């Protein structure tokens, strides 16, 4: 399986992109990390859980998380979620990480945005 590499919270974090998961699959119930951008308009509540989708602009994964989301979590933000896949294909996250830099984006997602012509340079 292909692993993506990213610097997150001053540590090295390996994660699968949604395209990695779509191409290779992930066993149900096996611990994994997935990463990408939170899809605009995808965040909702389902009971005590927050439901959202993560994308790399080619594929998306629906995520359910029952904990308190990081302060920097928002639509369009790069995140890494830790947890496992359910039989339904949804990812049940036990932890969600957001980079402290508000301009953070997983490198693979940035590359996909550039390739599709959707990349927006930040000005600071």
Binding residues for heme: 100, 104
What CA–CA distances, in Å, run from 73 to 50, 81, 116? 11, 11, 24
Two structure tokens written together for 95: 């932890």
Q: Which residue ranges make up the annotated binding site?
A: 100, 104
Instruction: Please state, in angstroms and rounded to a whole number, the distance separating the CA atoms of residues 122 and 92.
Output: 32
Cβ neighbours of 112 (radius 10 Å): 22
3-state secondary structure of 53: strand
3-state secondary structure of 22: helix
């Amino acid at each position: 399986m292909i692993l993506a590499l990213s610097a997150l919270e001053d540590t090295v974090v390996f994660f699968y992109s949604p395209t990695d998961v779509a191409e290779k699959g992930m066993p149900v119930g096996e611990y994994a990390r997935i990463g990408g951008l939170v899809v605009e308009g995808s965040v909702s509540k389902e009971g005590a859980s927050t439901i959202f989708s993560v994308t790399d602009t080619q594929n998306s994964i629906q995520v359910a998380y029952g904990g308190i989301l990081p302060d920097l979590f928002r639509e369009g933000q790069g995140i890494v979620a830790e947890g496992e896949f359910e039989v339904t294909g949804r990812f049940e996250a036990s932890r969600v990480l957001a980079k402290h830099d508000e301009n953070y984006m997983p490198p693979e997602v940035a590359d996909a945005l550039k390739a599709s012509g959707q990349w927006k340079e930040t000005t600071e």
